[in-house]
Structures are given as structure tokens and as C-alpha cells.
Amino acid sequence: MFSPVESRRLYRQVADQIRLMIASGELAVGQRLPAERDLAEQLSVSRPTVREALIVLEVEGLVNIRMGSGIYVVRQHAATVAGAEREPVEGPFELLQARALIECAIAEEAAGRAKPDDIALLDETLTRMGGVVNDAIAVLDADRAFHTGIAAIVGNATLIRVTGEMFDMRMTPYFAKLASHFEGPTTWRSALDEHRAIRDAIAAGDAAGAKAAMRAHLTMSQKRFSESFGEEFSGEEERGRNKRPSKGTTKT
Amino acid sequence: MFSPVESRRLYRQVADQIRLMIASGELAVGQRLPAERDLAEQLSVSRPTVREALIVLEVEGLVNIRMGSGIYVVRQHAATVAGAEREPVEGPFELLQARALIECAIAEEAAGRAKPDDIALLDETLTRMGGVVNDAIAVLDADRAFHTGIAAIVGNATLIRVTGEMFDMRMTPYFAKLASHFEGPTTWRSALDEHRAIRDAIAAGDAAGAKAAMRAHLTMSQKRFSESFGEEFSGEEERGRNKRPSKGTTKT
DNA sequence: CTGGTCAACTGGCCTGACCAATTGAGGTAC
DNA sequence: GTACCTCAATTGGTCAGGCCAGTTGACCAG
């Protein structure tokens, strides 16, 4: 049943093992897990380690921990789980491709629904973005606001959230490292122009145009990205202390 | 309604506090956090509690814990968080609408790329689904495999993940409780028929047909849903950017 | 200046204990 | 007999202190 555990980030291995038992159905949905103390004994680890593993599963949404009662399986499939350790799975290009497909559909839909208020909101992000092209952090924020703002026009919270999540994924260490090389006032101004084209198409109610403009924008992003791919790691940023990305710090 | 407190667990309060400091920029991206022992002292809690909070943030992808070195801020936006009892899950209706938009675009794209192997994979999920319409859990699994299988045809890991995540969202306690009332062998057989229509359109390379079939499938899902419990969601319709309290049941 | 060693961090994990919430069995009043 | 109450066992939540292992940078021999 429960087998002892090996090495390397113990609580994560414990989490993996329990996650596997849930996915395989060995632990059915709704079922109560053994008590923390029992789990610790059966896995030959200490209770704090078991607790840490269970907290991981709780954050992932797989189990529900109820004080004084027990730990219950709430669903079978490991859902989201933010970035952390999945960089080896999805590369920047893959991400941009996915965004192109999804955000094009959103832009297309938004073109038929936009009201003056919505356009005003987009304009706000555009002017804000134009004023901070030299601030790497603030401009990213405006960029994000523009993309989620389009999703907001459709009026669906899920779309807004998914759009934001995909945007945030560029913040993985590996991605951010690359981005720091090709992002600059010049490229941001290009992106801003493309944003304006999208905004205009949506404001005009031109669904096909909005879709095309969004596709062009994300395609260009991809292009700007690949052009600076050759010189991966040439310099370090201000607070960087010579730490290579070493893309496997927490991969399991 | 009764107890808005929920008696927040300590490590979650600590996690919230640190998360806030990151979001506000007080802790910049790339910066190293104080050592666990120092954090424990500054926050007047024990080190295990700090550790548990940091593990939460690590799973969420906000920080990167490096053994022997320290804890580093990776990114600023909280984003995802699957959320066990996180009620901010959008309503079922909203979710299906988002899925319609995104999965239609995916189906459209898949129709132009499907190879025999891909179709065979879809067929496998269809036969499997047909054999277990009476098993509430197994049929859900086959359903999921079909939808992610279509995303897999496009060959983009991000799309597969997003599709699976949106599907899994129906597993929230609130959603699952409602679903148990309208899901049955009959409705599953209807869904299976709609799946077959999607599969046929993709196999035929008919992009527009695949898109239409997927839209029909998710629209029908929505309809089946609202016919049994639709009254509860009659208020939220398209274009409705309301934020329904919809406080998810912490316990069922 | 170069290369290697080592000691002071830092996180990883453990033992053992006590507190607080939940829950159900058993007792009491009606 | 039923309804309510009490209370103790069970379970998660938190704390304290300690040792081990990996990381890092200063220091010293060459």
C-alpha cells in the first residue's frame, strides 16, 4: 500500500505519491485519507513532512483539509498549479501560440459587444502604456491590462482569468530571462502600435479585423522573441547574482 | 452568512501577508526573502508555520525555494491558484460560455490538422464513454479525455492544459452538487452523440463544421444544465458582468 | 592571481509536545 | 421513547528545539 520514500525534497515526493493514488482511483473522491499521524508512520516520514505534502495538495485543490475532522479527496485530476516547476513542459513559443488561438477568438467576440465604456478602458491602458515604455515593470502591467481588458468586454470572468493566467506565465524565470533581452522601449512601442490596431478594429465593430490584428500582434511578439534567441545569456540584471536559470531547480 | 471567519489557519494568514507584500512590490521580483528563522521571529510565529506558508507560495509559483541558498520572488501576480475552497470559481454558466468560445476555436484549428492517429484516439474515448455511461466517475473521465484529446490534435501543451483545467473546474463542490442532479445515463448518451458529431467533422477536415458541432455540444450542455437547475442562474446572462456572490458552500 | 578548502549561513527534516476543533457515544431530563 | 446535553476520543493546527545537508563566499596555500 504505502511504501517508504527516497530522497530529494521529501514532502514533494510524498505529495506526488498521494496525488498518484488519487489519480489512479485508489483513493476515491469523497473518501477520507488516513490521519496525518498514520500517514507519517506508513510512509516512514515525520508528521511535519506529511503536513507539508498535504498542504501542497490542498493548494492544488485535490484535497480538502477540515480541522478536527480529517482530509478528504475532492477531485481526481490535478488542475492548475501555477508555474513553479513546469517550465520544461511549455516553452515560450508554445505559450504564444496558445494565446494567439484563444485571444483571437476573444477579440473576435469582443468586437461585436464593445460599448463606449469598454473602449475608454482600453484607451486608458494604451495611454498609460505609452507613458511608461521605459519602465519595464509598469509597461508589463499596462500590457496585461490591455489583454485582460479585451476579455472583460466579453463579460466573462473565466475568460478574464484565463487570459491573465496565460499572460502571467511569461513570468517564469526562464521566460523572464529571455524577455529581458528583447524587451525595450523600441519593441514596446511596436507592441503599442499593434495594440492600437486591435483597439480600433474592436471599436469599429470589425470582428474579422480584430481577430486578424490580434493574430498579427501575437505573431509579431513571437518574432521579436525569436530574433533575440541567439544571445541567450549575455548579461546579468541589476540584482542578479550570477545565478544561472539552471532549469531544473525544483522539477520532479 | 453565519460565520464569515472560517477561523483562518495561521499559515494561510502568513501566506496572504507575504503574497500581499509581493503584489504591492514591497518585495521586488528577484529579491531574496529573509531566512525562515528570521521571518518566523518577525511574524511572531513558529518556523514550521512559516515553512507551510512558503510552500503554499511555492506551489502557487510566486517564490522559488532553493535549498541552502534562500527564497526568491519569482513573479508578482498571484494568478491561478486552483483553490480547494476558494469560492471565486465563476458560475457554471459562465464557465460553459468560456469553454464554448475557447474550445470552438480549438476544434476549428484541430479540423485542419487531424491525422489518423488522432482520430483513433478520439474514437477510443468515444467507445470507452459509451461503455460506462452508468459509472458517474468513469464517464466523466472519458468526457475529459475527449475534450483534451481535441486540444492534443493541435499539438500545443498549453492548450491541452487549459482545456483540462476548465473541465476540472466543474469538480468544485458547488458545481458537482448541481451536476449530480442532472447527469445521468440519458444525458450522457446525448453528450456522446454530440461528441460523435464533433469527431466526424474533425475527421472530415471540416473546420466550420467542427466549430459548429462543438458550439452545439456546449450549448446543449448548458441547456441540460439550466433545465434542471436553471432557475438559479437565470439572472446571469451574456454580457452580464455581475459578480454574483454565489458563496460556494464550504461544506456540503 | 589562481585554485581549493572551510566555516557560516540557509533550507530540509525530525522528535515530541500541547492546543483547538470536530464528532459521536452515552447519559440525563422530559 | 425522544430530545437534548455532556464529555472524551480523534484529528488537524501550532509550537519548540535540534541535527543534517546543500550553498556560498571569504580566506589561504600555491
Task: Tell me the three cell numbers of residue B109.
Answer: 484549428
Nearest nucleotide by C1' position to the B58 CA atom: C11
CB < 8 Å to A137, chain B? 25, 29, 76
First-to-last CA distance in chain B? 15
Share of chain A above pLDDT 70, in %: 75
| Helices first, then strands: H and E counts in chain B | 10, 2
The SS3 call for residue B64 is: strand
Size of interface A-B (CB pairs under 8 A): 181
First-to-last CA distance in chain A? 22
- CB of B9 lies under 7 Å from some atom of strand D: yes
Task: Tell me the three cell numbers of residue A216.
Answer: 498579427
CB < 8 Å to B165, chain A? 79-80
Domain A92-227: CATH superfamily is: GntR ligand-binding domain-like (1.20.120.530)
Residue–nucleotide distance: A91 CA to C3 C1' (Å): 38
CB contact (8 A) between residue B84 and residue A61: yes
The pLDDT tens digits for A138-193 are 788 889 999 999 999 998 888 998 998 888 777 665 566 566 666 677 888 899 99
The contacts of residue A124 (CB under 8 Å, 6+ apart) are none
Q: What is the mean pLDDT of residues B183-210?
A: 91
Q: Pick from A36, A101, A246 the residue to mutate for testing the B interface (most B CBs within 10 Å).
A: A101
Q: DSSP readout, B35-50?
A: PHHHHHHHHTS-HHHH
Contact predicate B48/B74, CB 8 Å: no
CB contact (8 A) between residue B84 and residue A76: no
Of B64, B80, B240, the CB nearest to A165: B80
Q: Pick from A80, A86, A93, A249 the residue to mutate for testing the B interface (most B CBs within 10 Å).
A: A80
Q: What is the CATH number of domain B10-73?
A: 1.10.10.10
Q: Has the ipTM of the complex gone over 0.90? A: no
CB contact (8 A) between residue B60 and residue A59: yes
User: In angstroms, what separates the C-alpha of B120 from chain A's closest C-alpha?
Assistant: 23
Task: Look at residue A16 in the predicted model and tell me its pLDDT.
Answer: 86
Class for the domain spanning B92-233: mainly alpha
Residues B177 and B95: their CA atoms lie apart, in Å, by: 16
Contact predicate B146/B166, CB 8 Å: no
CB < 8 Å to A58, chain B? 84
Nearest CA in chain A to B25: A137
For B138, B140, B182, B187, the CA distances from B134, given in Å and listed in that order, are 9, 11, 13, 11
Residues B239 and A155: their CA atoms lie apart, in Å, by: 5
Confidence of residue A112 (pLDDT cuts 50, 70, 90): very high
Task: Look at residue A176 in the predicted model and tell me its pLDDT.
Answer: 61
Which strand C bases fall within 7 angstroms of a protein CB? 9-17, 20-23
Quick one: DSSP state of residue A31? Answer: P
Residue–nucleotide distance: B12 CA to D14 C1' (Å): 13
Quick one: DSSP state of residue B231? Answer: G
Residue–nucleotide distance: B31 CA to C21 C1' (Å): 38
- CB of A65 lies under 7 Å from some atom of strand D: yes
Closest CA to B252 of A18, A202, A66, A209: A66
The pLDDT tens digits for B62-107 are 888 888 888 988 877 654 444 333 444 567 778 888 999 999 999 9
Hey, where are the domains in chain B?
10-73, 92-233
Task: Look at residue B205 in the predicted model and tell me its pLDDT.
Answer: 93
Higher pLDDT, A66 or B3: A66
CATH fold match for the domains B10-73 and B92-233: no
Confidence of residue A11 (pLDDT cuts 50, 70, 90): confident
